[in-house]
Amino acid sequence: MVLLLGVGIASVTDLELNLLGSVLSGLAIATTCVGQILTNTIQKKLKVSSTQLLYQSAPYQAAILFATGPFVDRLLTNRSVFAHKYTTPVVGFIILSCLIAVSVNFSTFLVIGTTSPVTYQVLGHLKTCLVLSFGYTLLHDPFTMKNILGILVAIFGMALYSFFSVRESKKKSTNDALPVSQMPDKETEPLLATKDGSDIKKANGVSHGC
């Protein structure tokens, strides 16, 4: 919550709520959460790599976008993507955008599979803070005290998350590594036994005299 507050202060400029925007935002949050949690679960349970998961899921994602994208775009913009004049530079930028999207998806699967969906979100918000900082440093974008305050609050939230994550991982590793004194005792029952109990005594180190 601290991290989200800082990112909101740093990046949100104009806040305007309406029903359509709220519904779309809620659907985006829900689908993103479900997708990232499923990605993490699949990689951990099935022991698949990021490349394997991307190879299996990319065709379905492309088919869904190809089937629904033009209609949704027409609904939102009142313009058809097929009516646009596709010149060579436009096609080149489309291909470049697709390659960048594949790289982003691969890095997303890699981070989620290695860490967790929450860590991926923290990393994404760090990217937002870096974009704002580089925009001011390299492009001389306007930078106000509100942006600086938001970035500082976000960094504080990231530090809190890192602290508690490290502490939890150390606690888990400590519980997993039990000392020798806490290990269960060896079995006292013999592996072989007969009805008269003679083999039991032999197994326990007791021998009969002749």
User: Shortest CA distance to 58 belongs to which of 101, 117, 94?
Assistant: 101
The distance from CA 114 to its chain's CA centroid, rounded to whole angstroms, is 8
Q: Are the C-beta atoms of 199 and 192 separated by less than 8 Å? A: yes
State mean pLDDT over 156-180.
77
CA distance 133 to 198: 82
> What is the percent of the chain where pLDDT is above 70?
82
Per-residue pLDDT, 116: 75
Nearest to 43 by CA among 103, 117, 133: 117
Among 61-70, 84-93, 168-177, name the one with the lowest average pLDDT.
Answer: 168-177
Confidence bin at 200 (pLDDT 50/70/90): very low
Phi, psi of 78 (to 5 degrees): 60, 25
